[in-house]
Structure 1
Amino acid sequence: MTTLGEALIRLLEAHGVDTVFGIPGVHTVELYRGLASSGIRHITPRHEQGAGFMADGYARASGRPGVAFVITGPGLTNTITAMAQARADSVPMLVISGVNATATLGLGRGYLHELPDQHGMMEKVALSSERITRPDELARALSRAFTLFASSRPGPVHIEIPIDVMAMPAGDLAAVPVQTAPPALDKTLIAKAAALIAAARKPLILAGGGARNAEAELRRLAELIDAPVVQTVNGRGLMHAHPLVVPASPSLKAVRELMSGADVVIAAGTEFGPTDYDMYGDAGFVVPKTLVRIDLDAAQLDRYPATVAIQADCAAALEAMLCCLSSTRDGSPASCSLGARIAATTREAAFAEIGSAMQMQVGAVEQIRDALPASIIVGDSTQPVYAANLFYDHDRAGGWFNAATGFGALGYGPPAAIGAAIAMPDAAVVCLAGDGGFQFTLPEIAVAADTGAPVIFVIWNNRGYREIETSMRDIGVEPVGVSPQPPDFLKLAEAYKIPAERLATAGELGAALRRAHAKRQPCIIEIAIE
């Protein structure tokens, strides 16, 4: 007899899942029945929040959905923070949880791990939440999840299975095909957008995370129309070192001036979130007057007025625009082109605007990039990450991501970096975290030790929450609670049997990274900041 739990594993394999992050418990034991004999690798984090963050990092690095198994009640509530981060950043994540036996739900009698309404709670956090009440519902529920990941704006999806249903006979459930077709292109809207762009004298492109898989089309369009390309945080790495690229935050005055001077703005895969466009909360962001928006999500398109709003995959929409536009320009802008000159002026002004302290921190991030080309840098909320989110040009599309925007979950970096390294074992993966944020999920370095995931954990140790302390001082609040005592990170590394070294200055980072990378095992590099 094949149980529903066993069928679940087979169906996940049919959908291409090769890794599951989870902590087994009495409410998920049946889900593990078929796991040992399958081709799916199970990774055991030290906390369910870590499972969610690892699934997130796995998904961002690989482009495939990250999958987590968690128990009902506290296991699932521990995962909610990671799910909220994934929702904010459009990360495909499938969370499969248990729930109490069907006959006990909603009675409030105090069963183990009982919640008043677990399904109702998850409907508020996930893009969708489904409860499986019969084995024949499972295949279609999984198909709906993977269809959402493939054809619309992704995010976290939750499926819960009551413990009595897990053990039911499931027969030979077959995977239901996934519908992968994105929204059909509206040719009338494409032509209207192309006409606006063709008539523009100073066009500008804003590239967000939704354009990460459209680098070739983005480059061709930018070169054809001679348009500077401003990257949001999740768009960093696109068109690295190109003369038209402005790898700077739209919250900076220099970039806002560039936006206000454009006569048409093409916004590709960016939601205009305040953590990108108004991170200082000064209400200085103004929606461009002539705006062409491209986004998979119709709800996002409705949130800001646009001259032309195109619901589509960015690569498909940009390619269609290219076909419509007249090729009167040669498509190969020299460094002296008008767009390149404007981009260069904006880059210089934006870098000067962030000031010397942040320039030093950006320099530290550039050392990572230059020491380990095409690396994946996974950030936590720490000073050099904040600085680089303001200004930094990465050399790998999708290779710079962090939780310092959107939902802003502290402690994201270490487990997400482990997930990225498990997804992309041949890539150099660096976690950049502060001593405060690192302690939120510190035990997860044990997972790197368990699996051999060669993450280089760079700890920016300024002995506390210095960014928060600065914010307090700036508004005249006496700092309180911002100086938690950090542990001895080198002794912790010794306890986990991974190599570590402490640097006296950030200038030593490049050489230390090369030494660590040569080991091809998890390492800790601590930078002591005065």
Structure 2
Amino acid sequence: MSHTLAHWLVRALAAHGIDTVFGIPGVHTIELYRGLAGGALRHVTPRHEQGAGFMADGYARASGRPAACFIITGPGMTNIATAMGQALADSVPMLVISSVNRRAELGMGEGRLHEMPSQHDTLAGLSVFSHTLLDPANLPRVLDRALAVFDTARPGPVHISIPRDLFNVTLESPLPATAHLYAPAPDPEAIAQATQWLNEAQRPLLLLGGGCVRNPEAARALAERLDAPVLTTINARGVLGRNHPLDLSANATWPEVREFAAQADVILAIGTELGETDYDVTFDGGFRLTGRLIRIDIDPGQLNANHPPALGLVADASAAMTNLLARLTPVERNGAAIVSALHRRLALHERPDMAPFVPLFEILTRVLPEAIIVGDSTAPVYAANHLLARGAPRRFFNASTGYGTLGYGLPAALGAALARPDLPVVALVGDGGVMFTLAELGVALEEQLPIIIVVWHNAGFEEIRRAMDSAGVTRLGVDPVAPDFQQLAAGFGIAALRVTTPQALEEALNNRALDAPCLIEIDAGQWQAGRV
């Protein structure tokens, strides 16, 4: 059966299991929308293309499934570029489909509408791959290649540019059948060597990254089989369940944990790039691994990055963990006692920079134990990276690590709410960062997403203020004027409340409407003053 290319693409996305598209229609993408109307794909209209990318990111992190973005030529693509950069840094799948000028116009520099010297070159560095479609017959293969990246390789954003003159070309191609794709399996000899080292280890340490979230049961069983302390990255938060006795959480940057890590004789790192924003947030190079390091990663390019291994396995994390479990001998190593002692030494809840946020997380956990909490770069999120426990993976993620963009929290939370309507979703944002993407409040109202937007209002960029003070630099540009968030929310038809104490926050959460968005503004100054 023949279709126009645009209509075939929309139907093919649905056949591949994609159910949601984020996009802002433009004159260059109208033909894509002809195929959307009345079809199987849900379309969500953000207020900015950066918001579209962040929503697709949050959708994928919360559900494990990619979403698509339909983006116009030129400025639409430069607008979404930051979101693609964040997704690439954190290995988040995202399919970005854009228009581009007609084939005969590419690279001509004739001042066409939305023209760029090379849209492909601009986006290639922010995607796993960027492909400009020149022959419509190649679209099925390009789409298959994109989905293969999501299923069998280190995921990230994939970009497909379609010239305007191809949208209405007839495509004689059947819709894709469901394909069963398998990620790389671990080498048996390497598994045998890793097993021997781990069985003989006296002081093993397990490092779990976001690559483990697809199989939390295997990750938990592996930790228990080894009876080894576990450090997780932010993206692996909750993979062991809430308050597991072997979980050191994402605390590799603290001196007490660094000392322990340096003494481990065998370290098993699975699905983690061992990057500084997970293991060295003081940026002093102090996280050292002196024991035998075994690294397992689906991306061979990661195996020698940051911390070169003694043994490296290119493999899917889930398959590798399953293979190891079949061979490892259970050994009692007092892992829980070691972790408990380290937690007592850390005493994170008592540290002055952490203590103000302890009641915040206690309340969120008590009132919303199963919630997905999505963070921006803001003080409570920095604290949550160390303090917040989650009962399952995909329940806490943020943009304060890796690429580290601002403005992520609100739109990513909207994407999470669309992906998981069965769970409460909290956007934990600061007054400075949320102003990057405030317009996306309109999506919360339009889609009637019952997200809870918690704004930590400390009147500007507090982290940068402290950094300027520490560096002896006169404060400048760190005190942006914020809007009246109560009136702003009211203008969008969203219920809002300002609170100053933990008790008021808990009351606001308990009394909120369960079927509509709400905004809760925390006056950071008064909240912290109440603890003095």
TM over 0.5: yes
Q: Find the counterpart in structure 2 of residue 161 from structure 1.
A: 162
Task: Map Cα deviations across residues 344-402 of structure 1 (whole Å, 9 max, x no partner).
Answer: 12222234498223222243133212210111000000001011213332222121100
Q: Find the counterpart in structure 2 of residue 257 from structure 1.
A: 259
**Greater Cα offset, 347-356 or 411-420:** 347-356
Tell me if the contact between 1:364 and 1:507 (Cα under 8 Å) persists in the aligned partners. no
Secondary structure at the aligned position of 2:113 is classed as coil
Instruction: Using the TM superposition, give the Cα deviation of residue 67 of structure 1 relative to its aligned residue in structure 2, in angstroms.
Output: 1.0
Instruction: Using the TM superposition, give the Cα deviation of residue 210 of structure 1 relative to its aligned residue in structure 2, in angstroms.
Output: 1.1
Q: Find the counterpart in structure 2 of residue 333 from structure 1.
A: none
> For the residues of structure 2 that align with 1:90 and 1:67, how far apart are their CA atoms?
16
Task: Map Cα deviations across residues 481-519 of structure 1 (whole Å, 9 max, x no partner).
Answer: 111111111111111111111101244323322222x42
Tell me if the contact between 1:143 and 1:178 (Cα under 8 Å) persists in the aligned partners. no
How do residues 430-445 of structure 1 correspond to structure 2 at under 5 angstroms?
A: 430-445=426-441
Residues 1:310 and 2:275 aligned together = no
User: 2:401 corresponds to which letter in structure 1?
Assistant: T
> For the residues of structure 2 that align with 1:234 and 1:2, how far apart are their CA atoms?
41
Instruction: Using the TM superposition, give the Cα deviation of residue 280 of structure 1 relative to its aligned residue in structure 2, in angstroms.
Output: 1.2
Residues 1:461 and 2:457 aligned together = yes
How do residues 379-458 of structure 1 correspond to structure 2 at under 5 angstroms?
A: 379-458=375-454
Q: Find the counterpart in structure 2 of residue 294 from structure 1.
A: 296
**Greater Cα offset, 452-461 or 238-247:** 238-247
Task: Map Cα deviations across residues 138-183 of structure 1 (whole Å, 9 max, x no partner).
Answer: 1111110001100011000000000001111113442265462111
How do residues 97-496 of structure 1 correspond to structure 2 at under 5 angstroms?
A: 97-175=98-176, 178=179, 180-239=181-240, 240-303=242-305, 304-327=307-330, 338-352=334-348, 355-496=351-492
Tell me if the contact between 2:96 and 2:158 (Cα under 8 Å) persists in the aligned partners. yes
Secondary structure at the aligned position of 2:423 is classed as coil
Secondary structure at the aligned position of 2:205 is classed as strand
> For the residues of structure 1 that align with 2:349 and 2:477, how far apart are their CA atoms?
30
Residues 1:59 and 2:60 aligned together = yes
How many residue pairs align between the two structures? 522
- Consecutive unaligned residues of structure 2, counting only runs of 5 or more, are 526-532
Secondary structure at the aligned position of 1:33 is classed as helix
> For the residues of structure 2 that align with 1:526 and 1:436, how far apart are their CA atoms?
13
Instruction: Using the TM superposition, give the Cα deviation of residue 202 of structure 1 relative to its aligned residue in structure 2, in angstroms.
Output: 1.4
TM-score (norm 2): 0.95
**Greater Cα offset, 21-30 or 288-297:** 288-297
> For the residues of structure 2 that align with 1:375 and 1:77, how far apart are their CA atoms?
33
Q: Find the counterpart in structure 1 of residue 530 from structure 2.
A: none
> For the residues of structure 1 that align with 2:330 and 2:159, how far apart are their CA atoms?
47
Q: Find the counterpart in structure 1 of residue 524 from structure 2.
A: 529
Q: Report the identity percentage.
A: 48
User: 2:247 corresponds to which letter in structure 1?
Assistant: V
Tell me if the contact between 1:265 and 1:288 (Cα under 8 Å) persists in the aligned partners. no
Tell me if the contact between 2:203 and 2:266 (Cα under 8 Å) persists in the aligned partners. yes
Secondary structure at the aligned position of 2:159 is classed as strand
Tell me if the contact between 1:354 and 1:390 (Cα under 8 Å) persists in the aligned partners. no
Instruction: Using the TM superposition, give the Cα deviation of residue 131 of structure 1 relative to its aligned residue in structure 2, in angstroms.
Output: 1.2
TM-score (norm 1): 0.96
User: 2:368 corresponds to which letter in structure 1?
Assistant: L
Secondary structure at the aligned position of 2:32 is classed as helix
* Residue 106 to residue 179, structure 1, CA distance change in 2 (3 Å): farther
**Greater Cα offset, 456-465 or 204-213:** 204-213
> For the residues of structure 1 that align with 2:349 and 2:255, how far apart are their CA atoms?
8
Tell me if the contact between 1:143 and 1:176 (Cα under 8 Å) persists in the aligned partners. no
> For the residues of structure 1 that align with 2:388 and 2:229, how far apart are their CA atoms?
16
User: 1:326 corresponds to which letter in structure 2?
Assistant: T
Tell me if the contact between 1:448 and 1:522 (Cα under 8 Å) persists in the aligned partners. yes
> For the residues of structure 1 that align with 2:347 and 2:72, how far apart are their CA atoms?
47
Tell me if the contact between 2:226 and 2:331 (Cα under 8 Å) persists in the aligned partners. no
Task: Map Cα deviations across residues 414-445 of structure 1 (whole Å, 9 max, x no partner).
Answer: 00000000011111100000000011000001
Q: Find the counterpart in structure 1 of residue 496 from structure 2.
A: 500
Q: Find the counterpart in structure 1 of residue 38 from structure 2.
A: 37
Secondary structure at the aligned position of 1:8 is classed as helix
> For the residues of structure 2 that align with 1:506 and 1:463, how far apart are their CA atoms?
19
Secondary structure at the aligned position of 1:170 is classed as strand
* Residue 39 to residue 177, structure 1, CA distance change in 2 (3 Å): closer
Q: Find the counterpart in structure 1 of residue 529 from structure 2.
A: none
Task: Map Cα deviations across residues 440-486 of structure 1 (whole Å, 9 max, x no partner).
Answer: 00000100100011110000001111111011111211111111111
Task: Map Cα deviations across residues 268-314 of structure 1 (whole Å, 9 max, x no partner).
Answer: 11111111112111111223431111111110012231121111121
Tell me if the contact between 1:460 and 1:529 (Cα under 8 Å) persists in the aligned partners. yes
Tell me if the contact between 2:227 and 2:331 (Cα under 8 Å) persists in the aligned partners. no
Residues 1:509 and 2:505 aligned together = yes
> For the residues of structure 1 that align with 2:350 and 2:104, how far apart are their CA atoms?
59
> For the residues of structure 2 that align with 1:133 and 1:452, how far apart are their CA atoms?
40
**Greater Cα offset, 473-482 or 50-59:** 473-482
> For the residues of structure 2 that align with 1:44 and 1:340, how far apart are their CA atoms?
48
User: 2:266 corresponds to which letter in structure 1?
Assistant: V
Tell me if the contact between 2:225 and 2:329 (Cα under 8 Å) persists in the aligned partners. no
Secondary structure at the aligned position of 1:130 is classed as strand
Tell me if the contact between 1:139 and 1:176 (Cα under 8 Å) persists in the aligned partners. no
> For the residues of structure 2 that align with 1:279 and 1:491, how far apart are their CA atoms?
37
Q: Find the counterpart in structure 1 of residue 93 from structure 2.
A: 92
Coordinate RMSD, CA, aligned = 1.5
> For the residues of structure 1 that align with 2:505 and 2:439, how far apart are their CA atoms?
24
